[in-house]
Structure 1
């Protein structure tokens, strides 16, 4: 489906066609739930937030101007709803200090070390490292690597400039590499 077909369904929904809005919900529900689950790390909270996102979307549909893709606009609503949820429950994310020195050789060493891990351990290691990032860093990494969104779309979702998102992505990757490197080194010592 293209953005044009989204626009058609949006126009129909604004005229009161609930089936048109249902189509948009079905089309984007997996995406919304996926990002909510990745941000909140709790299935029930993610389901609640996803439902809340579509309610907000329905009530705000008239405010959608079509400047950004509908999916990007919906991602932004999801992102903000997740941040509100995190703030309301005063979650305490484990943040690691930003590491200033990650060398290219270390990245290669990290890749070789990860190859030692079995697939299941590899996935768990990556997920645990991502959980140690701040919520903003997690979102940027998840949107870029797992949702494969272009940087322009991510910048729109988190409401920062394209240059700023590039910097944030660079720093988040650097921090993630350091966390993964430490995990791999720790696993090598125990093997």
Structure 2
């Protein structure tokens, strides 16, 4: 017999939203459980501080709960939620007067991209995840979020434009540039034999 919790835990976002709006406030906890890790990841990629990220993630869900009646379902709930998280993250940066980091783009050939992918595939999943996460954290905050949403949350370009408030062309450009930067950083992490040959593969 499936418990009522197990049954509810597999319902759609819209199901929980309807329950909350009908006065069943506890149903919101299912949405929090479903998205808390992903919201924290998006926020942390912007604010770069664990304590601040936890606070902003919490504020995101409070804001989402209070604003739930204004959610019209025109975008996915996750897209709407990440938009709140991203804006609150930018507010936190402004409060801390944090300056966005910049990373020099190093040219990387498609052949080197293939070598990086091969090297990544040979790593243990945990180690691979850490190296990629560490490299993403070296990207400027807006690019780190775009990469996270596109490659890890599998958001479309259109959805990302809603979240970060940029045009589709801008998102595409940032995605292209950040991918090059990311592979360049990954190359330095895992391919020392390429680095020691002035960026040329052996």
Q: One fold, TM greater than 0.5? A: yes
What is the deviation of 1:53?
0.5
Q: Deviations over 1:85-108 (max 9, x none)?
A: 122212344311344x43322323
CA distance in 2, matches of 1:43, 1:95: 21
CA distance in 1, matches of 2:36, 2:120: 33
What is the deviation of 1:184?
4.5
2:147 paired residue among 130, 135, 141: 141
Unaligned runs of 5+ residues in structure 1 are: none
1:40 paired residue among 44, 47, 67: 47
Could you say if the C-alpha distance between residues 112 and 64 of structure 1 is closer, same or farther in structure 2, counting changes exceeding 3 Å? Answer: closer
Matches within 5 A, 1:65-144: 65-99=72-106, 101-111=107-117, 123-144=129-150
1:31 paired residue among 32, 35, 38: 38
Q: Deviations over 1:34-84 (max 9, x none)?
A: 322343343322221111001111221122111001111001111111122
Q: 2:187 maps to what in 1?
A: 181
Matches within 5 A, 1:54-69: 54-69=61-76
Residue 19 (1) aligns with residue 35 (2): no
CA distance in 1, matches of 2:76, 2:153: 15
What is the deviation of 1:20?
2.6
What is the deviation of 1:156?
2.2
Q: 1:167 maps to what in 2?
A: 173
In the alignment, is the contact (CA less than 8 A) between 1:37 and 1:43 conserved in 2? yes
RMSD value over aligned CA atoms? 2.9
Unaligned runs of 5+ residues in structure 2 are: 1-9, 197-202
* TM-score (norm: length of structure 2): 0.75
What is the deviation of 1:186?
4.9
CA distance in 1, matches of 2:114, 2:120: 10
| Dislocated runs of 4+, deviation >6 Å | 115-121
Could you say if the C-alpha distance between residues 119 and 69 of structure 1 is closer, same or farther in structure 2, counting changes exceeding 3 Å? Answer: closer
SS where residue 58 of structure 1 aligns? Answer: helix
Deviates further, 66-75 or 31-40: 31-40
